[in-house]
Structure 1
């Protein structure tokens, strides 16, 4: 049976959903925000103050409330997907916006007019945020990382990573079973290992080739005799040979394995592990790295490349090189303008990182599994906030929203909502909100640093927010608010138990 909810009953359900989600997540905002314990049937209970993690785990037994919660979660999840931080701020803003909007609707303003005003105000405030932003120096980047992670140690680690790896696609964060966190840097190119035969490992788990010859082709190799000149050259020059192709005939594989058994110099056959366009991109990268031309049927010495070192493990193959690829990198960067799919963009950016700065893996430790998981969430927040801050930063601690609020007309819907993040940060720290707000808004020449419980001047603030995060948090909150304001009914498909099939059911 279908249940239809409209009018005041729907408004109550939306308000209840906002209270459940936004109050729970909002209590974690700021350096002295509260933690929450999350328990689920699939994982051990753990402690976190990560907004998007909390939001994803909040549900209700009330099917109507739960339906609205799923829509509201979009506010945090979408913000996290785009900028990786600011999820809690988005939900705090959302509740305040909905409260102000509903007050106006009760006073007679139409929902359409409220929505239109919200959209116009959001664009105006976005411009004001950009106007207040500035380019971060090294100290500002470190402060961003520290503020987002709520830890000076994590902030320092993230700052060092961002200085070395200029694109977030080149950074991977994982948990480890050790107490201490470590960062591993890899200056080179990696891809999934796809050896033509496991017998190439010959009892070892890793193959290391120093200055090997490399042949790259998009074709399958069916006749090893066509490459006899290359094999002879490799033998005469006393260099190992790596062939990278689409596939190999079984006879070719057996002949090469037999050759390796009888000789000290080795030939290794790798297959292209990618599919579709990515096959071509991987092959193109290897051709540039090895400084050679693609082999097509007819062998020439232009087809032979050389690299510094290749390490083939059972899972990954690592290529170390030292040639300059600046022109090729710029060509790939320009191609990014024509790519819209986020998955493909990340793949391009990771390739560019490998070809330029390399990769970094942050292995996050902790004394317990729960601590390691919580630490990883802080590292995730900090890495996204810091990379997004490269485009610009604003004074943090709710100051930027609060200052912009003071410049808006009293009839602006977002005027009061913009003050809420500032107040929530202070409230979570158990501070005198009214007194501190009066002191800050007196001349807007200082902010309150909750972490050290003191004021500091705006000329050299230690609390900063990414401009991109501030804008996206507001954008997402306004977007979800507009969806809720335009919602006039909620339809629930309910399962009815123990129904007498002889009776009709009205839908």
Structure 2
């Protein structure tokens, strides 16, 4: 603790202690059960809001009590992180966080490190169990099922996304835009150079659309570099070219930092130039190859050690271009690159020849297949229609959620939905499968086991049924059948996957990993918040004294 810190702890009850910094910033502290109870109340309020009104409303919630708000904000962060990683699962993440915190809070008072170790062992075992039971999806019908569930049961949205993915392939580019008609439309474009890769903007300052958290450019210039860009003189010529041509600039490099990054952000914030920096995808030789693919796609040049020209001597014809570019926190999408079709076809043929070489390792073949799919895949643009701007915006959000969930499902497979997966996973947590070193660790395992049953119980209760009774029947009658659960909409027990009630495995896995915050909350021994500063008393009659009036010097 800093030496200048003065405390007013002496003589005060433990629960009401406060800290006062020498600069005058007050900190209020609550210890042990009182602090955890306050945060738990905030978690409960947020979780109920999610269950009743959805995640969008819950994100806007800010509680008056700062200790309660602390709990609510931490769970909001869990849900946001899950959404950023997997594109879905925010409701499950919130409900599970609430359950883990509640269960862990009961065990509070034990050794917090052992409690956390036990909980982590349980999570590791659950993920291992789910890895062996997930199902890979291959058919268009399965893809439509996943998309439909994530679109709040809208089969039309699910089918449209399945059609788009079937046309352009798993690595193809699918984007969602606002249409100009009442009906939803899908536009499939083949033969136009497009690509998507898993790297997003380096800094959120580059965002152009705050609502969607995206950077969107029309006809941008593209600078490609194998090396890290730090010096201002390296980036300045490219910035000047973009400014003179009045076009946005996308920079893709090993990294962009220091003066170079500061210059980009400053130009963006001042409105002098639309610019965005993205780290190059891949590592080592694979990164070099992908940058080469991007150069072919955009008609640009990759600045590397092999090139005699340095970045500070860049010319306009060395910069690539694209019809449009969309950058999120997680990925970057090129549409209609300026590269020639013949050049792209030749690049694809070159990749195929290396693929067919018997000396190419399996690892390299996997990377080559990914590159080939990205270069040769088509483009699908889903144009969302509607009778009003509000309707189009709401539908577009559902399309985005469904598309994210579908990509996650195609990437890592699916598991039964309706909370059944976590419920069945709780059966895998036995003393034999998860040995605990001591009693406190066993409490950590039990906390996770009990929490895993909460999402299924919540879904059943929201449908007007008795949650504990239905969950008990699932475990007793169908415990050995991984895919069997309860269809709350129809009120019957069924094979969830056969019924089309599924979740992407990536979403469930991410929910489990991201709930480490809830495990941390459950073992917190102190909560610290900034206390409101006490205002100086005003003069008689509420008029304020001379100092409050700013003095009389102006007269």
With normalisation by structure 1, the TM-score equals 0.65
How far residue 487 of structure 1 moved from its aligned partner, in angstroms, is: 5.1
Q: Pick from 212, 219, 239: which aligns with 1:193?
A: 219
Number of the residue aligned with 1:400? 421
**Deviation readout 1:172-202 (Å, 9 max, x if unpaired):** 223345432222233312685369xxxxxxx
Change in Cα spacing, 1:332 to 1:401, as seen in structure 2 (3 Å) is farther
For 2:300 and 2:117, locate their aligned partners in 1 and report how far apart those are by CA, in whole Å. 57
Number of the residue aligned with 1:24? 49
With normalisation by structure 2, the TM-score equals 0.60
**Deviation readout 1:76-102 (Å, 9 max, x if unpaired):** 000001000111101101111111111
Farther off after superposition, 404-413 or 422-431: 404-413
SS in 1 for 2:387: coil
How far residue 369 of structure 1 moved from its aligned partner, in angstroms, is: 3.0
Q: Pick from 413, 419, 437: which aligns with 2:453?
A: 419
Farther off after superposition, 82-91 or 479-488: 479-488
In the alignment, structure 1 residue 3 sits paired with structure 2 residue 27: yes
Number of the residue aligned with 1:124? 125
**Deviation readout 1:421-444 (Å, 9 max, x if unpaired):** 111111112223344334322332
Number of the residue aligned with 2:514? 476
> Contact conserved, 1:170 with 1:350, CA < 8 A, in 2?
no
Number of the residue aligned with 2:485? 447
SS in 2 for 1:442: helix
Greater length-normalized contact order (CA 8 Å, ≥ 6 residues apart): 1
For 2:398 and 2:247, locate their aligned partners in 1 and report how far apart those are by CA, in whole Å. 39
Q: Which runs of 5+ in 2 are unaligned?
A: 1-24, 195-216, 226-236, 254-277, 281-287, 310-320, 327-334, 432-441, 540-544, 546-555
Farther off after superposition, 92-101 or 445-454: 445-454
For 1:477 and 1:248, locate their aligned partners in 2 and report how far apart those are by CA, in whole Å. 46
For 2:527 and 2:224, locate their aligned partners in 1 and report how far apart those are by CA, in whole Å. 60
Number of the residue aligned with 1:103? 106
> Contact conserved, 1:162 with 1:387, CA < 8 A, in 2?
no
Query: Once superposed, what is the RMSD of the aligned Cα atoms?
Result: 4.5
> Contact conserved, 1:21 with 1:58, CA < 8 A, in 2?
yes
> Contact conserved, 2:158 with 2:402, CA < 8 A, in 1?
yes
Change in Cα spacing, 1:80 to 1:290, as seen in structure 2 (3 Å) is closer
SS in 1 for 2:498: coil
For 2:402 and 2:110, locate their aligned partners in 1 and report how far apart those are by CA, in whole Å. 41
Q: Which runs of 5+ in 1 are unaligned?
A: 28-35, 37-48, 196-215, 219-244, 254-268, 298-309, 339-348, 503-507
Change in Cα spacing, 1:142 to 1:94, as seen in structure 2 (3 Å) is same
For 1:405 and 1:392, locate their aligned partners in 2 and report how far apart those are by CA, in whole Å. 20
For 1:332 and 1:373, locate their aligned partners in 2 and report how far apart those are by CA, in whole Å. 45
> Contact conserved, 1:172 with 1:361, CA < 8 A, in 2?
yes
For 1:436 and 1:332, locate their aligned partners in 2 and report how far apart those are by CA, in whole Å. 56
SS in 2 for 1:451: coil
* Paired residues for 1:125-204 under 5 Å: 125-138=126-139, 139-149=141-151, 150-166=153-169, 170-176=173-179, 178-187=181-190, 188-189=192-193, 192-193=218-219
Number of the residue aligned with 1:366? 386
SS in 2 for 1:489: strand
Number of the residue aligned with 1:498? 536
Tell me which structure has the larger Cα radius of gyration. Answer: 1
* Paired residues for 1:320-339 under 5 Å: 321=341, 323=345, 325-326=347-348
> Contact conserved, 1:173 with 1:364, CA < 8 A, in 2?
yes
For 1:364 and 1:80, locate their aligned partners in 2 and report how far apart those are by CA, in whole Å. 22
How far residue 473 of structure 1 moved from its aligned partner, in angstroms, is: 0.7
How far residue 366 of structure 1 moved from its aligned partner, in angstroms, is: 2.9
Change in Cα spacing, 1:324 to 1:18, as seen in structure 2 (3 Å) is same
Change in Cα spacing, 1:166 to 1:317, as seen in structure 2 (3 Å) is closer
How far residue 350 of structure 1 moved from its aligned partner, in angstroms, is: 12
Number of the residue aligned with 2:313? none
